[in-house]
Structure 1
Amino acid sequence: MNSNKGPVLVIGATGQQGRATTAQLLERDWEVHAFVRDLAAPAAGALRDSGANLIEGDLDDPDSVRAAMDGAYGVFMMLTMMTGVHITPAGIEAEQRRGKAMADLAKASGIEHLVYSSLKGANENSGIEYYAAKTAIEAHIESLELPATVLRPVFFMDNFNAFNRPIVDENGELVLNLAVRADIPVSLVSVHDIGAFAAIAFDHPDDYLHRAVPLAGDRLTPPEIAETFGRVAGLPARSNQVPIEQVRAFDEQVAKMFAYFNDRPDEPIDTATLRKDHPGLHTLESWLHASNWKA
């Protein structure tokens, strides 16, 4: 167990993963410095209220990042490729550029432990541009010989609260619309558990430094996902395969991701071993109950 309790600088602090990591670190008595663009933003205020110290800055301003890293023990880094609700070429380029710059600054600042949240699929030659950006960031971290842990989470359960939320049709049936074949199992993880493993990595550096850790808590086919939602909601349920072209009309990169899921089903992740370090690792059903999910 690490006796050093920080501070840890959380980059991407107001996002889902950043908030989850901040909460998990604070629960374990770590000092957290949350890197935010606007101190007056409601999301920043919520972090302050939770016990984090706020540091204002901009990822495109190296001086502000350097100042934020000064004196920090560790850094949690989660970056986005999103521009609004879409993944764009500009967003992908910005993520890769910022990720490499953050790694360079962490090296120069003498950061003792960098935890980078990447994704499962990095280093798999997927042909997906936003996967490639994360692969490049991982490679840059490795080239710098940074003391680092790379987390590789799979498809977020939390997506079922947003774009992939099941809907109740006119017949009272719960319908899961997902662009994945019915026979393809999808690995799932909750954002809460990504934050938990980030905190666990900081707690146990001897076990987690210089590792890439795939993260999943469940693995279900679309009909099994729908059945789980139906069971929790007390409704009949079914899955519907959305055509990839329909997804492509919304976002080219998301369409490529789902096509990749269909063409190259992922191998199961060893969740039993993950649960040894984190017994509370959610299955889809336990996440639905914990989040009080309602249809």
Structure 2
Amino acid sequence: MTTIAVTGATGRLGGRVAARLAAAGADQRLVVRDPSRAPEAGGAEVARADYADGETVRRALRGAGTVLMVSATEHPDRVAQHRAFVDAAVAAGIGHLVYISFYGAAPDATFTFARDHWATEEHIRASGLPFTFLRDNMYADFLPSMAGEDGVLRGPAGRGRLAAVALDDVADAATAVLTSPGEHVGVTYDLTGPEALTLDEVAATITAVTGRTVTYHEETVEEAYRSRAHYGAPGWEVDGWVSTYTAIAKGELEGVRDAVPRLTGHPATSLADLLTS
């Protein structure tokens, strides 16, 4: 049985995938920075690695056939970390790399962090590794938390739409690819929800389903930077936060795709259904 290595297993997506692979009886290895935080996943092997430390990655991936590479936390050096991981994966002799990318990844994407994903994809292509890219839209699970304590969802998204995808749908799709990698070599899948909503519609859905009153306030770009200044975050991070909304405004996150139902065999989850479950 081929070993599947799962990175990010202590996180929301990697942990979901690990649980699904365990339920399927897969031979898996959880690759984490802190083994003490690794979840129980059917007796899965645990290996420690840090993306920026190629030697630890190489040791952790040795003998793995397929690898799920969950993108690293946003950081000024994230692309360098990703490149180090990919190079170590090549050195370890893995057979297939499944990379969690972002919808609309491009060198000129409005969402600044999507540019990191494009650079990573290009490095993977150049590495010669067999690959599959899962380009996730924004996670629908996070939408309620984007509203402040006052119930206002603020941002310069205009009347743009986003086809946010549920984390469980992404985990189902990733599991399908990981367990049959040969069917998906060289393919890029755009993972979206079943509908593209404006933030007014997102707010209305949250209100209707949860009973918490949420509204959308359209900011200008300048207002968006000012309203986030109190966090004291570095400029590159605030650029990422604000450009999430401007990407929506420019229509870069609105296209609905059918990859989730094609890969999973079930319909993509709507925001209303997600909030109801």
Fold conserved between structures, TM > 0.5: yes
Residue 32 (structure 1) shift: 2.0
| SS of residue in 1 equivalent to 2:10 | coil
Distance (whole Å) between structure 2 residues aligned to residue 22 and residue 207 of structure 1:
21
Name the counterpart of 2:30: 34
| SS of residue in 1 equivalent to 2:170 | helix
Answer whether contact 1:152 1:214 (CA < 8 A) is retained.
yes
1:244 has 2:221 as partner: yes
Change in Cα spacing, 1:194 to 1:66, as seen in structure 2 (3 Å) is same
Answer whether contact 1:165 1:176 (CA < 8 A) is retained.
yes
Change in Cα spacing, 1:239 to 1:215, as seen in structure 2 (3 Å) is same
Distance (whole Å) between structure 2 residues aligned to residue 33 and residue 280 of structure 1:
29
| SS of residue in 2 equivalent to 1:282 | coil
Residue 70 (structure 1) shift: 1.1
1:256 has 2:248 as partner: no
Residue 62 (structure 1) shift: 2.0
Change in Cα spacing, 1:54 to 1:132, as seen in structure 2 (3 Å) is same
Change in Cα spacing, 1:53 to 1:243, as seen in structure 2 (3 Å) is farther
Residue 109 (structure 1) shift: 2.1
Residue 108 (structure 1) shift: 2.3
Name the counterpart of 1:85: none
Letter aligned with residue 262 of structure 1: A
Answer whether contact 1:182 1:223 (CA < 8 A) is retained.
no
1:231 has 2:208 as partner: yes
Name the counterpart of 2:234: none
Letter aligned with residue 76 of structure 1: L
1:221 has 2:198 as partner: yes
Change in Cα spacing, 1:280 to 1:7, as seen in structure 2 (3 Å) is farther
Answer whether contact 2:205 2:272 (CA < 8 A) is retained.
yes
Q: Let me know the Cα RMSD of the aligned residues.
A: 2.3
Q: Which of 227-236 and 30-39 deviates more?
A: 227-236
Residue 213 (structure 1) shift: 0.7
Distance (whole Å) between structure 2 residues aligned to residue 182 and residue 50 of structure 1:
46
| SS of residue in 2 equivalent to 1:122 | coil
Letter aligned with residue 192 of structure 1: D
Name the counterpart of 1:195: 171
TM-score, normalised by the number of residues in structure 2: 0.85
Name the counterpart of 1:48: 40
Distance (whole Å) between structure 2 residues aligned to residue 182 and residue 256 of structure 1:
12
1:276 has 2:259 as partner: no
Answer whether contact 1:160 1:166 (CA < 8 A) is retained.
no
Name the counterpart of 1:120: 103
Answer whether contact 1:247 1:254 (CA < 8 A) is retained.
no
Name the counterpart of 1:80: 72
| SS of residue in 2 equivalent to 1:196 | helix
Residue 166 (structure 1) shift: 6.3
Letter aligned with residue 239 of structure 2: E
Residue 180 (structure 1) shift: 4.5
Answer whether contact 1:114 1:146 (CA < 8 A) is retained.
yes
Q: 1:15 aligns with which of 11, 20, 28?
A: 11
Answer whether contact 1:150 1:213 (CA < 8 A) is retained.
yes
Letter aligned with residue 55 of structure 1: A
Residue 7 (structure 1) shift: 1.6
Answer whether contact 1:36 1:54 (CA < 8 A) is retained.
yes
How many residue pairs are counted as aligned between the two chains?
A: 265
Change in Cα spacing, 1:39 to 1:204, as seen in structure 2 (3 Å) is closer
Q: Which of 149-158 and 51-60 deviates more?
A: 51-60
| 1:130-209 to 2 correspondences below 5 Å | 130-162=113-145, 164-165=146-147, 175-181=151-157, 183-209=159-185
Distance (whole Å) between structure 1 residues aligned to residue 128 and residue 101 of structure 2:
17
Change in Cα spacing, 1:176 to 1:124, as seen in structure 2 (3 Å) is farther
Residue 29 (structure 1) shift: 2.0
Give percent identity, aligned residues only: 24
Residue 128 (structure 1) shift: 4.7
Change in Cα spacing, 1:27 to 1:106, as seen in structure 2 (3 Å) is same
Residue 264 (structure 1) shift: 3.8
Answer whether contact 1:155 1:188 (CA < 8 A) is retained.
yes
Letter aligned with residue 130 of structure 1: F
TM-score, normalised by the number of residues in structure 1: 0.81
Residue 104 (structure 1) shift: 1.5
Structure 1, unmatched stretches of 5+, are: 83-90, 170-174, 291-295
Change in Cα spacing, 1:127 to 1:185, as seen in structure 2 (3 Å) is closer
